[in-house]
A = this chain, B = another copy of it.
Amino acid sequence: MATPARLPRADNRLPQILDEAARLFAERGFPATTIRDIVRGIDMLPGSLYYHFAAKEDLLAAVYAEGVKRISGHVHAAIAKRTDPWQRLTAACVAHLEALLDESAYAQVVIRVRPGDVPEVAGPLTALRDRYESVFVDLIDALPLKPGVDRRALRLMLLGALNWSQTWYRPGRDDPRAIARNFVALLRKPTET
């Protein structure tokens, strides 16, 4: 059918565009990043970007999709080794935070950009994020909890706390793994005397 007449060229700079866009979207946010900012970093002209993307929002969608792919892969690799429900959840949170705070600008874009703020691609973005977060639904379903514990609230609280760490995290001072483990521990054990 729509088989490409020829393979893409080996020297095409699509990966560089995505990398630089991810870096800037993560650092400044989507609206504050201009097309010229992105292409300046990789010695390209503004118009050339439109060979790869029809609009700025489509570039965001591509970065966002790659971000979900990476963070999702990281988390799945981490939980595959474990069998104990609590250890699996902890491993997932650690991997989530690692991707979010250290590893990947792509992952940071997924957390930083609110789909609703970009109406042109809000649908696809929300779908991608929901699909990713479904892992946590399953992980928390598998937890042996006291009857009456609200699992949805548990998930929203945990993921919210993890994601918000993006606003206060400082590389030298804080440790992603320690943060994640600390948060899970606070939910698991009672804090009260």
Digit string of A151-193 for contact with B (CB within 8 Å is 1, else 0)? 0011011111111110110000000000100110011111111
* Contact present for B161 and A165 (CB under 8 Å): no
User: A31 — which chain B residues lie within 8 A by C-beta?
Assistant: 29, 31-32
User: A168 — which chain B residues lie within 8 A by C-beta?
Assistant: 156, 160
Q: Of A15-23, A48-56, A141-149, which binds chain B?
A: A141-149
* Contact present for A114 and B191 (CB under 8 Å): no
Copies of the protein in its oligomer: 2
Q: Roughly how many angstroms separate A154 CA and B184 CA in the complex, as a whole number?
A: 11
> Which listed residue, B29, B149, B160, B191, touches A145 by the CB 8 Å rule?
B191
* Contact present for B183 and A186 (CB under 8 Å): no
Known interface pairs A146-B192, A159-B164, A165-B156; A32-B179 also in contact (CB < 8 Å)? no
Digit string of A77-99 for contact with B (CB within 8 Å is 1, else 0)? 00000000010000000000000
A69 proximal to B (CB < 8 A): no
In the assembled complex, the CB of A96 is this many whole angstroms from the nearest CB of chain B, namely: 13
